Amino acid sequence: MPIMIKPQDVERIIAANAPEESNAMNYFTNRPLKNSTHIAVAELEAEYGNVPVIMRGALGVRPETGMSAKVIEPMPIEIDDIFTAVEVDNYERATDQGKQQMIDERIANHLRVVRTTTRALCAQAHRGGIDYMMQAGTAMSRYVVDYGDITGLTFGSNLAGLTIANLIIYLNQLTTAIRDQGVGGPIEFIASLDVFQAIVTAAANQKAFPVSVGVGKVNIAGFEILMDNDTWIDIDNTGAKTTKHMLEPLEIMARATSAGQKLPYLRLDDVVMNQAVPFYAFTKVRSDQRGEDLYVKSKPFPLINRKGIVFGKFQTA
């Protein structure tokens, strides 16, 4: 009996996941299913005023630039795995509960990988571009998306001398920079770890402004500031790994929460699954009869309004 992964298996595993904690991914509350493998340039121009430029790197992947085409085609997340012949035999001998556990464990692991990749794409999009190493067939390739320049401000003081009065001035400067670009609505702030720690220290040393503190966040005089909690591992062409963060040291970011940002999931490059889904998995018996191949696919594409995000940076000490 082949191992069958049913849609309800995926739905159950997704539903069992803990609530998303990534600040980057939680920015994209609108996550539509788009029943197309591509996005029309005209649609993006009408909604955002600019078009992301997608380039797929070397190693046999054809470069594409959205500006010269009528459509752009995001790169999918695809994972190839295998149930070995031994695992298939264990599956056939297992009880119904045991079979379900085998499927759940494997799919849950791959769902974590897909979500980790999606978080990284969302975090990078905040900075105006994606530059991520992804699998391209049997090789690795840079997946590059350019959304356009994000506005940046440089503050006049360093963290050592930060006061809450100065912080409020800087937060208002970031807010004004977003408003000046024509974006309204609520604004939230995210600070790098060193900036967040400096803010909490400054807040504890004053009594003029009301302060409330929660896990990974602080509210000062009505300004809620989150601590950056997004990291990912980048792999360069040599295989070297580097841990990266959404915000660099000395940075704080303001983002409008109603700027039109969204995270569409596009239809997969698949001849069987002919509709858009956030996560898809299926198996196929190997031609060499040594088990079953397991395929996992997803095609998220974070879209930002670059006018709704502004970065600020403190002076070095």
Residue 27 has which token pair? 């920015």
pLDDT of residue 15: 87
For residues 17, 20, 25 and 26, what is the CA-based torsion angle, rounded to 10 degrees? Answer: 140
Domain range summary for the chain, segments of one domain joined by +: 7-147+262-304, 151-258+307-315
pLDDT of residue 134: 72
What residues does 130 pair with on adjacent strands?
Answer: 145
Each residue's pLDDT, cut to its tens digit, for the chain (317 residues) gives 688 888 888 888 888 888 899 999 999 999 999 988 877 766 776 766 665 666 544 332 333 333 334 567 788 888 888 888 998 899 889 998 998 999 999 899 999 989 999 999 999 999 998 888 876 555 667 788 888 899 999 999 999 989 999 999 999 999 999 999 999 999 999 999 999 999 999 999 999 999 999 999 999 999 999 999 999 988 877 778 899 999 999 999 999 999 999 999 999 888 888 789 999 999 998 888 888 999 899 999 999 999 999 999 999 86
* Cα separation, 264 vs 32, whole angstroms: 5
Decide: helix, strand or coil at residue 87.
helix
User: Would you identify the CATH topology of the domain 151-258+307-315?
Assistant: capsid protein of prophage fold (3.30.1930)
pLDDT of residue 250: 97
Cα separations in angstroms, 25 against 33, 173, 261, 292, 313: 16, 25, 11, 33, 23
Please list, in sequence order, all residues whose beta carbon lies within 8 angstroms of the beta carbon of residue 273, skipping any fewer than 6 positions away: 267, 280, 282, 297
Asked if residues 160 and 130 have their Cβ atoms less than 8 Å apart, the reply is no
User: Would you identify the CATH topology of the domain 7-147+262-304?
Assistant: putative capsid protein of prophage fold (3.15.30)
The alpha-helical segments, DSSP class H, found in the chain are: 7-16, 23-26, 41-48, 85-93, 96-125, 164-179, 193-204
* Cα separation, 106 vs 17, whole angstroms: 14
Residue 39 has which token pair? 């996005």
Decide: helix, strand or coil at residue 39.
strand
